[in-house]
Amino acid sequence: MKVDIEPGSGFCFGVENAVNIAEEALRDGETVYCLGEIVHNDIEVARLTGLGLQTITYDEFERLHDCKVLVRAHGEPPSTYAKARENNITVIDATCPIVRSMQEKIRQVAELSREERGQIVIYGKEGHAEVIGLMGAAGPRGILITGKEDLGRIDFTKPVFLFSQTTKSKVQYEVVAEIIRLKMEQMAADHPGNTLKVHNTICRQVSGREPRLREFSRKHDVIIFVSGRQSSNGRMLFEVCQQENSRCHFISAPEELREEWFRDASNAGVCGATSTPKWLIQKVAEIVESF
């Protein structure tokens, strides 16, 4: 059977950068701790653990002193850096430059809008590491919304500065932004200062992947989507593939492949999330080819 790999599959730039920084830090044999899993992919985490990277929880981090801790691509709130300074921890900062510049922008906006009581609204997944970092940058006027159901948290009579977690769906972000815009318009006559500024913060590495995956899914009889189950970006992109092709299967490891999925198929496509390593996608493609 003919098997194609979606050309854009593999780590995004930010995750690749973080993995390279981790490998470099591990080269001299010293213990390096990683605050949370470096990537939402168990197989890649196991590979790096084999090289000496030790994943720790936030509770464990609080108890560490005099060591090296890697901050992954998602970034961290200011409180993490403060704790590291307090405990003489050397931070190896692998925050994705795109996330870092968004944190910086949020800090600036929060500072500049202090007098007018501007609200920094973050559209993202509750508990996601990147969102925790962004909320930390926003400070006390930060408001998290996970979807339309949380819009009641916003005061539509005051200015709103809207940001999105980098890996959210562009379409859903636009829908949420439009609802906020309409609600604010309704109140504008009585509250002329209630401006809305929508910041375009969806990462292009993700938004560009969506249309390409749609086309790729339509062109193949069967689609195998490889991703860690905890990856929110993986869930989102898998849904995109499913919308275009009903013979779409989500796997997190090659052992989950089933030969019967390919019955009567003449071709198959293999793709994955921004947190899925290319080597794993290639391995899956080779197995499918052998069926």
Q: Is residue 226 within 8 Å of residue 271, measured between CB atoms?
A: yes
What is the rounded distance in angstroms from the CA atom of residue 24 to the CA atom of residue 237? Answer: 30
- What minimum distance in Å lies between the beta carbon of 277 and ligand SF4? 13
Task: Tell which residue, 263, 275, 262, has the closest CA to residue 285.
Answer: 262
Which of 16, 60, 130, 185 is flagged as catalytic?
130
Which of 73, 237, 248, 268 is the binder for ligand SF4 (CB under 6 A)?
A: 73
Q: Would residue 277 be called left, alpha or beta, if left means φ above 0 and alpha means ψ between -120 and 50 degrees?
A: beta
Residue with smaller CB distance to ligand SF4, 99 or 284: 99
- Contact pick of 6, 10, 12, 77 for ligand SF4 (by CB under 6 A): 12
d(CA 127, CA 70): 19
User: What number of chain residues touch ligand SF4 (CB under 6 A)?
Assistant: 14
Q: Which two structure tokens, joined as six digits, stand for 70?
A: 């890697």
Helix axes 232-244, 209-219, angle to 10 degrees: 40
The reply on whether position 129 binds ligand SF4 by CB under 6 A is: no
Residue 191: what are its φ and ψ, rounded to 5°? -130, 75
Q: Which residue is nearest to ligand SF4, using beta carbons? A: 14
Q: Is 106 in the site for ligand SF4 (CB under 6 A)?
A: no
Q: What are phi and psi of 248, to 5 degrees?
A: -120, 130
The number of residues in the chain equals 291
Least distance in Å: CB of 163 to ligand SF4? 12
Of the ranges 26-34, 113-121, 172-180, 200-208, which one interacts with ligand SF4 (CB under 6 A)? 200-208
**Contact status: 227 vs ligand SF4 (CB under 6 A):** no
User: Binders of ligand SF4 among 259-278, rule CB under 6 A?
Assistant: 274
Q: Which one among 10, 14, 36, 133 touches ligand SF4, defined by CB under 6 A?
A: 14
Contact present, 130 and 124 (Cβ < 8 Å): yes
Q: Is 21 in the site for ligand SF4 (CB under 6 A)?
A: no
The residues annotated with a catalytic role in the active site are: 130
Point out which residues bind ligand SF4 (CB under 6 A). Answer: 12-15, 73, 96, 98-99, 166-167, 203, 205-206, 274
